[in-house]
Structures are given as structure tokens and as C-alpha cells.
Amino acid sequence: LVARNEAIFAYDPDEGNMSAMPLEGEKMMLSQYKSYFVSVSADMQSPAGSLMGGLVGGLVGVPASGGSMSISPSTMAKQNVTVCLVAYPHIRFEAYSAQFTDVTHVVAALGSVFVLSRGGASGTNTVFFELREKGLQEQLDILVKKRMFEWAAGIAVQGGAAQEVTADIYREHGDALFAKRAYDQALQVYMKTIDLGLPLEPSYVVEKYLEAQRIAHVAQYLKRLHEKNLAEREHTALLLKCYTKLKDFSTLEEFLERTPVSQYDPATAIEVLETAGYYGLAAAVAQKPEVQRHGDYIRISLEHFKSYAKIVQFLGTLPRAEAGQALVDHGRVLMKHAPKETVDLVRAICGLDE
């Protein structure tokens, strides 16, 4: 931190000036307390402010008679004591500010900030002020009331607030943006609860966007749930329905190709895709090595693609027991459309060609 007359600047050794807090007046002291800095600046509007000349302390005059001159408190030097929160490398906001008379010391100790200054009717008494930081919950309540949600969330995380408290701050922030129809910004805030593992019920967000008929936003939110392995069966079904509703085949195909099977329920995916008419994608999911739902693959291939000879050939690659069960289920259709291939398969399964 670098204190100058016009402001206090936060510098990074590599990036240079990162942020600043405008605080006018000559800086007399600069100290640290937890994540705050405390600045003592000359109040240039006070009667003695322009005469301080960089000195800390009250003005003392010696009259011509040689006796000491009594000084009125109204003519003594005034300083502004300002406490600001820092989240490196940014100065976030002014947490406290007040005017004091003739500040001599600022000490951070015993969980407080102590200010030693002059006071009393004559201005000759020394007064010891204690500045106490408000409790975490009170700080959060103040910031949320002022709709300073980002700062409230940052303090909640830094201060170790309960996850439910932090999640509620993000929820209120998202709701405020949603009410302004800033749907994209609201979604980014809601998704932070997913990234941070905070307990915000997904159905709360999904229902809000569904009511507003923002299907694409629902898809983005559900996709993030899958990426963080937090999706349930219902989420998979709804995500695929969103893609099919949007007729976004490329995104749907990309999701199925790139998303590990562990992040979604394959049975649900096959059912939704088949219902929506994406038979090729449904068959591809069923045939994935991690899935191997051979029964679904065979059924889809026969019902929708009429790939009789291809399926007979596929059955020849399966274990005898599994291939035999498939013949029990679909043998009549295969005999009708691929009789020679089917008979050859039966002979091979029964070991008649050995």
C-alpha cells in the first residue's frame, strides 16, 4: 500500500497499480488490522488543517509574554481516521470513517483498533477510543441490505461463514438480478453455488428459469451440475429434453461424446433420446463400452433401423448365453428378414459347426 495525498494505492510488484481508494488529505499514519488498513489523514477543512505542515499533534503557540497559550478545541488539528477492507490486490470498500482531534497513536491490538487523541472541553485531555469490528453476521446483514452482494459473499467465504449462509447470499444476489431480467448474470451467480459446493437446491433455479421459459439457461445450469458430478437421474432427463426442445443436435451430440458416462444416467439418456426421435444417439449411448446395454442397442437397431443382418453379425460377437437370450427375444424377426444368417448363428451357438 502506498499513501498519497489524493488516495491510497494498492501495488503489485509485477502488475503495478491494481486499485485505489480516494482519500483526500495529507496522510499522517497508515497501519494494518487483519484484512483492513487504517489511514489517518489531515482534514484540510478544519481550521488547523492547512497549517499542519506534516506534523502530528496540536498547534502550540508561545505568546509575547512568555506564558503558554490555551488552545480551543475548535482550533486544534483534526484528522480523519478511515478503516478500509482489502482483498489483495483490490481495496474493496470503506468500512469506517470518523473525525478525531489531534491523533497521536493508532494501535491494533487485543482484537480491536485503538485511537489515542485529544478531547474534553479544554482539548487538553487524552482520550482512548476503541474501534471494534462488527460480528460476521452483522457485517453480512449490512452488506446484503445495501445490496452489496459480491462483497458480502467474499466476506462470508473469507470469514468462514456456514455454507447455508453463503449460499443464501448468492441466492439473494441471483434473485435480484433475475428480477431485473438480467438472466445471464443471474445464472452465473447461481452457478457459483455449484462451483463452490454450496447447498442451493437445483430445483429452485430450474423452476425459476422454466417459468420464464428460458430453456437455454436451464440447459446451461444442468450441464454445470453434470460437470461437477452433482446431477441426478431427473437432471439428466431434463437436460436432454432441453437440448431436444431447442433442437440443438450438435450440442446434444457433443454432450454425449465428451461427457463421461459417470456424469449421467445412461438408461435415462437412452429413454429420452429414443422418445425424442434421436435413435442414432440412443443406440450410440447403449453401445458405449462403459454402458454395454446390448438389449437396448439390439432393440433400437431392429425397430428403427431394420439392421437385421448387422444385428445377427453383432450377436455373433456376444457370449453364447447373451446371444441365445437375444435370439429368444428377437429370433422370429431375424428369421423373417435374415433367415440364412440367423440359422448360421444358431448353429454356431449350439456348437453344430465345430
> DSSP string covering 133-169, please?
PPPHHHHHHHHHHTT-HHHHHHHHHHTT--HHHHHHH
**How many Cα atoms within 13 Å fall on the side-chain side of residue 300?**
22
> Is the model's pLDDT at 16 over the cut of 80?
no
Q: How confident is the model at residue 61 (pLDDT cuts 50, 70, 90)?
A: very low
In this prediction the pTM is 0.71
What confidence tens digit (pLDDT) does each residue in 265-302 have? 899 899 999 999 999 999 999 999 999 999 999 999 99
Least confident range of 36-45, 279-288, 320-329: 36-45
Least confident range of 42-51, 83-92, 163-172, 304-313: 42-51
* Helix (H) / strand (E) containing 215: helix 215-227
What confidence tens digit (pLDDT) does each residue in 62-106 have? 333 334 445 555 667 788 898 888 876 666 778 888 988 888 889
101: three-class secondary structure by DSSP: strand
105-109: strand order across its sheet: 105-109, 112-119, 125-131
Write out the three cell numbers for 229: 458430478
Q: What is the pLDDT of residue 125?
A: 77
Higher pLDDT, 136 or 44: 136
Q: What is the pLDDT of residue 48?
A: 47
Mean pLDDT over each residue of the chain, to the nearest integer: 85
CA distance 292 to 290: 6
**How many Cα atoms within 13 Å fall on the side-chain side of residue 353?**
7
Spatial CA neighbour of 74 closest among 115, 40, 112, 121: 121
Higher pLDDT, 67 or 321: 321
The beta strands (E) that lie in 60-195 are given as: 78-87, 90-101, 105-109, 112-119, 125-131
Q: What is the pLDDT of residue 175?
A: 97
Q: How confident is the model at residue 20 (pLDDT cuts 50, 70, 90)?
A: confident
Q: What is the pLDDT of residue 290?
A: 92
Going 303 to 304 to 309 to 311, the CA torsion angle's sign is negative
Please give the DSSP secondary-structure letter assigned to residue 288. Answer: S
> Is the model's pLDDT at 183 over the cut of 80?
yes
Q: What is the pLDDT of residue 19?
A: 81
Q: What is the pLDDT of residue 78?
A: 86
Going 278 to 279 to 284 to 286, the CA torsion angle's sign is positive
What confidence tens digit (pLDDT) does each residue in 108-151 have? 888 889 999 876 556 567 888 999 989 999 999 999 999 999 98
Higher pLDDT, 308 or 8: 308
Q: Is 75 exposed, middle or buried (0-12, 13-18, 19+ CB in 10 A)?
A: middle
Nearest-5° angle of CA 232, CA 236, CA 238? Answer: 115
CA distance 73 to 124: 8
Distance set, CA 215 to CA 21, 110, 173, 196, 238 (Å)? 42, 54, 21, 24, 10
Spatial CA neighbour of 105 closest among 81, 71, 73, 85: 81
Average pLDDT over residues 197-203: 92
How many of the other CB atoms lie within 10 Å of CB of 148?
Answer: 17
Least confident range of 5-9, 55-59, 174-178: 55-59
Q: Do residues 107 and 27 make contact, with C-beta atoms less than 8 angstroms apart?
A: no
Q: Which residue has the cell 437385421?
A: 308
Q: What is the pLDDT of residue 66?
A: 38
Q: What is the pLDDT of residue 1?
A: 82
Q: How confident is the model at residue 354 (pLDDT cuts 50, 70, 90)?
A: low
Q: What is the pLDDT of residue 71?
A: 53
Q: What is the pLDDT of residue 52?
A: 34
> Is the model's pLDDT at 252 over the cut of 80?
yes
Q: What is the pLDDT of residue 238?
A: 93
Q: Do residues 33 and 108 make contact, with C-beta atoms less than 8 angstroms apart?
A: yes
CA distance 43 to 49: 5
Going 258 to 264 to 270 to 274, the CA torsion angle's sign is negative
Please give the DSSP secondary-structure letter assigned to residue 262. Answer: G
Beta bridge partners of 91: 86
